[in-house]
Amino acid sequence: MAVVGAGQIALLIAAQRSITKTPASDIRGSKALWRAASFINFFGPLSYFLFGRRRGTV
């Protein structure tokens, strides 16, 4: 269970850092929406990385 929790926190931190560093023009939707969604277990951060960023951005 601790490994799963650590993975979830790592995804959350990675998503939050990416949202902060990525210009709003490279994110689909609003940054505030993606910030809130990233707190939804694994699904929020994974959704952001799969669907929230425009292609070709880091």
Provide the 10 A C-beta neighbour count for residue 10.
11
Helices and strands of the chain, counted as H and E runs? 3, 0
How many angstroms separate the Cα of 45 from the Cα of each of 11, 16, 28, 57? 6, 8, 14, 16
Residue 44 has which token pair? 């929020």
Mean pLDDT of successive 10-residue segments in the chain (58 residues)?
A: 94 97 96 96 95 79
> Alpha-carbon distance 20 to 4, whole Å?
24
pTM for the model stands at 0.88
Is residue 42 helix, strand or coil? coil
What integer pLDDT is reported at residue 9 of this predicted model? 96
> Which pLDDT belongs to residue 57?
52
What pLDDT does 55 receive?
Answer: 80
pLDDT at 48: 97
